[in-house]
Amino acid sequence: MSRSRARSSASFESCSPPARVTNTAARTILHADLDAFYASVEVLDDPSLRGRPVIVGGRPDERGVVSAASYEARRYGVHSAMPLRTAARLCPDGAFVTGHPDRYRDVSTAVMRIFASFTPLVEPISLDEAFLDVTASRAAFGDGGTIALELKRRVRDETGLVVSVGVASNKLCAKIASDLRKPDALVVVAPGQEAAFLAPLPVGRLWGVGPQVRQALIDYGVSTIGQLASVSGAALRRRFGAHGLELGQRARGVDPSPVTPTQAPKSIGHEHTFSRDVVERSRLEATLLDIAESVASRLRAHGLAAGAIQLKLRYEGFETITRQMPLPRQTRESEPIYEAGVALLERTRSTAPVRLIGLTAIGLAELQQLTLFDEQPRSERVARSLDAVRARFGESAITRARLLADRPQRRFDFGERPTADAGRPPNDEAR
């Protein structure tokens, strides 16, 4: 037996013996989650990083934040969204890398193709995780545990990466299961055992239980999912409204949500963290222009147009504000996005130094939803030509003259993500 297969078998966990599925009415859902994906790709491309604490996001002296950390780095307390300088203090010998988002997308595409070879019902949640409904695939590939083992083997053999997999009759339990024994986990929840599987786990693991709800439940005497399941629906409704009833259902392992093969992004945005706080209006506007170019390019790549723009500002002391406004018409061009960003910046009337600035396109619509009388303007044809040049020769191959001096160095960006159905926001650090 190969080393990779032996490890996968050793990490197999189950609430009951992994027998063939006998309840044919039950769905079989997999949640597949690549372990420390961004850091793992860096190690894959640079074997000298193997065994070292890898921290993705930028240089240790920069003002940005950690995008991802390897398991070796996490032992030092490093986690995503942590300031890079804090990570450097905790892990001074860490290997800091800026990140390669295009490379991550390429690897993600290869992994998603492997997932799709088992079932057409694949719902990507982010670049590094997805739900798979393999109910109809059991006759060809075996039960959920067998499919998961083969999926893990193929991902390792074909990409060199490790994926953790949870198997259950619904998305909720499959997602929680995949997180339990990381890295290289395989956890199977047998049909009918959902409530028993969830019962001993901390209530904070349940979807929809954030810090405030968690504290409210603890004050109510509820610290485990099993205790939450025993609370009457009437009591939960009185305390939390309709959300309380949903929590009660989830605590009992009930989640009928389907695996949706494709989800369009709900928003597309980009942020920039300055190495030093900025007060100069000209530099803020130049950064907004560069960000608008990035957002517009990604809108065009997805065949989407924005109906509104949101501005995000973070000041020294980490005070953060957001402002948004509708656009006169749906667009995927940089100029209207930039102009909206500048208008929102003027509305803030703040002269405080800015640490971070970002723009997000919201109110997205597909290309075919635009009016039939909208012809593609010359400006968009030019923009698409620029997209092609940058795709072939790199982001810095061609730029506006105004940005030659002021263009900021773009930091690693997670990019657009669909909203997970009833799930937590994707976060590579939790994997």
Catalytic residue positions? 129
User: Dihedral of the CA atoms 362, 368, 371, 375 (nearest 10)?
Assistant: 100
Which residues are within 8 A (CB) of 319 and not within 5 positions of it... i.e. 6 or more apart?
none
Is-contact 14 145, C-beta < 8 A? yes
Helix (H) or strand (E) holding 106: helix 101-116
For 173-195, give the DSSP string: HHHHHHHHT-SS-EEE--TT-HH
d(CA 404, CA 42): 30
Q: Tell me: cis bond preceding 183? Omega within 30 of 0 counts.
A: yes
Which residues are within 8 A (CB) of 155 and not within 5 positions of it... i.e. 6 or more apart?
32, 34, 111, 114, 161, 162, 163
Task: Compute the radius of gyration of the chain from its Cα atoms.
Answer: 23
Helix (H) or strand (E) holding 133: strand 129-133
State the residue for tokens 């800015």: 354
